[in-house]
Structure 1
Amino acid sequence: MYTTKFVESLMQFGLTRQESLVYQCLITEGTISGYEVAKQLGISRSNAYNSLASLAEKGGAYTVEEGSTKKYVPVELREFTRNHIREIEDARMWLISHMPEQKEVSEGYITIEGENNILNKLKNLLKSTKEHAYLSCTRSYLLYFVRELRELSEQGKKVVILTDQAVSVEDFKVYFSEDRGTSIGLIIDSQYAITGEYGEGSQNTCLYSGQKVFVELFKNALGNEIKLLSLNEESY
């Protein structure tokens, strides 16, 4: 009943694991007391009441009085998540308008580790595309970029995709090759490139740079692969 994915997603909204479990319990049961939460989750009453109080402070629950018993009801999930996002956005805008003067950094070759960090960098690069993008990865990983690719399509940007299985992507040129494994590569506007591996643990490592030599080398490698794939298509 209490799914790991649901709980982990709730934790992205400022809740601890136990608070997330309690919130999910509230959603499932509706109006409930600390005693009932403790019984449902198999935790101590003190932990249940502390988590409920903390959850209420964080905007995830309201209290109701039923006689001498204090009970809790969940704040509707859409409302709770929307409130958190709005608060984060307000904080983001304040930080941007009040940040100290930033020293210009000369970008060299940057190593990015961790699947989430790599995924976020790739999505941000796709969103920054001005004219064209070249994306190389397996089809299963390509599905992570559906939203960004759809936006590029709507904006009329040129996108070339190298992948290993059929995909339904309109307006983009797609080349099919052998299994690409865990390799990933992206070039944006011939100015920035990222390439490397994604997988478990230390396999999640990519190299990113805006250095012209690096971008040109990677661009030429992809270009040669595209030419070879094009010749193979013509031979059939």
Structure 2
Amino acid sequence: MDTIIQIMKKYDFSEMETLVYTTLLEKGVMTGYEVSKQSGVARSKVYNVLEKLIKKNLVVVNKSEPKLYNAISSDEFLERLEKNVKNDLNTLESQLGKIKEQEEEELLWKLENYESVSNKMEHLIDNAKTSLLIQIWENDLSPNLLKKLQEAEKTVKNFVLILFSNEHHYDIPINNFYIHGFEEEKLQDFGARWVNVVADEKEVIFGTVENDNSSVDVTWTYNKAMVNLAKEYVKHDAYTLKIIKESPEELKEKYGNEFEKIRLIYRED
């Protein structure tokens, strides 16, 4: 019930209105007194709530005494709600589309929490047209996001994904992806897992996410320098991992079984 109440609040139904409507939906025709008793809404308030629901066309009342109340079916309510939401969205799309958006390319925007990071990732993936370059950890591949990636791979010409996994779980239903395989070393470098999504070479989200998703340090921007850096980071990973995949034995002989010597790039090494 708590979930229903919270969702109904989004559509301008109070907790008492939801309790009364669902009670009538479940129990059927009742008097106001019975509604109060079954729903837990105080008798002093239940008639006012019923009147509001009548005006919102969720409850009907008979024309004779005693007054009896009944709820419209959930199917009718949901059909009406869906229609209203679609109409509102169409209106917003039409009206907001007339407002010219100003893109501030130089600013870096901070995403405040993991939910906003997930939402922005989904938006970039859904709207990519020509290219999609991604570095992502298994932890962040929700079923919904994975489904969106599958669809994007079919429609976006230049699609590549670098997959990281602490547990080395690399079995995903994506064709063009590369297994990173050096997660421990990268976690030492970054201090946390990270996300990098570059869409159409013009927009990027990049930053770190704590293991329990409690804290994020992720930036979203159109800044050209940031976009280019993030893009080249993904492409460099893909180039390197492609070479390792195609010539593993030769590279192991030269750089060690775990390719540990490949990271020795400084003079003192």
Q: TM-score, normalised by structure 2?
A: 0.67
CA distance in 1, matches of 2:61, 2:39: 21
- Which residue is 1:38 aligned to? 36
- Say which is worse superposed, 167-176 or 189-198, in terms of deviation: 167-176
Q: Which of the pair is proportionally richer in strand?
A: 1
Alignment of 1:56-205 (within 5 A): 56-59=54-57, 61-65=58-62, 67-77=65-75, 78-96=78-96, 102=100, 104-107=102-105, 108-143=107-142, 144-155=144-155, 157-161=157-161, 162-164=163-165, 165-175=169-179, 177=181, 178=183, 183-197=194-208, 203-205=215-217
- Which residue is 2:221 aligned to? 209
- Which residue is 1:14 aligned to? 12
- What value does the CA root-mean-square deviation take over the aligned residues? 3.5
The one-letter code matched in structure 1 to 2:177 is K
Which SS does the other structure have where 2:84 is aligned?
A: helix
Post-superposition Cα deviations, 1:171-195, rounded to whole Å, max 9, x if no partner, equal 4425355488663321112221102
Post-superposition Cα deviations, 1:70-118, rounded to whole Å, max 9, x if no partner, equal 3131342431431232232243145236x5x547342321122234433
Which SS does the other structure have where 2:141 is aligned?
A: helix
The one-letter code matched in structure 1 to 2:34 is E
> Would the aligned equivalents of 2:134 and 2:197 in 1 still touch at CA under 8 Å?
yes
- Say which is worse superposed, 131-140 or 196-205, in terms of deviation: 196-205
- Which residue is 1:49 aligned to? 47
CA distance in 2, matches of 1:205, 1:31: 54
How far residue 196 of structure 1 moved from its aligned partner, in angstroms, is 2.7
- Say which is worse superposed, 164-173 or 124-133, in terms of deviation: 164-173
Could you tell me which runs of 5 or more consecutive residues in structure 1 were left unpaired when the two chains were aligned.
Answer: none
CA distance in 1, matches of 2:82, 2:90: 12
How far residue 129 of structure 1 moved from its aligned partner, in angstroms, is 0.6
How far residue 231 of structure 1 moved from its aligned partner, in angstroms, is 5.5
How far residue 212 of structure 1 moved from its aligned partner, in angstroms, is 1.7
Give 4+ residue runs of structure 1 displaced > 4 Å after superposition: 179-182, 197-202, 227-234
Post-superposition Cα deviations, 1:191-217, rounded to whole Å, max 9, x if no partner, equal 211023457897245211111211122
Could you tell me which runs of 5 or more consecutive residues in structure 2 were left unpaired when the two chains were aligned.
Answer: 250-269
Q: Report the identity percentage.
A: 19
The one-letter code matched in structure 2 to 1:184 is V
Post-superposition Cα deviations, 1:126-150, rounded to whole Å, max 9, x if no partner, equal 2221112123333343223245334
CA distance in 1, matches of 2:207, 2:30: 49
CA distance in 2, matches of 1:40, 1:118: 42
Instruction: Indicate the structure (1 or 2) with the bigger Cα radius of gyration.
Output: 2
> Would the aligned equivalents of 2:129 and 2:155 in 1 still touch at CA under 8 Å?
no
What count of residue pairs does the alignment treat as equivalent? Answer: 231
Which SS does the other structure have where 2:104 is aligned?
A: coil
> Would the aligned equivalents of 2:117 and 2:218 in 1 still touch at CA under 8 Å?
yes
The one-letter code matched in structure 1 to 2:179 is Y
Distance 1:176 1:5, change over 3 A: farther
Match among 232, 239, 248 for residue 220 of structure 1? 232
Which SS does the other structure have where 1:130 is aligned?
A: coil
> Would the aligned equivalents of 1:194 and 1:208 in 2 still touch at CA under 8 Å?
yes
> Would the aligned equivalents of 1:166 and 1:176 in 2 still touch at CA under 8 Å?
no
The one-letter code matched in structure 2 to 1:173 is F
CA distance in 2, matches of 1:23, 1:137: 44
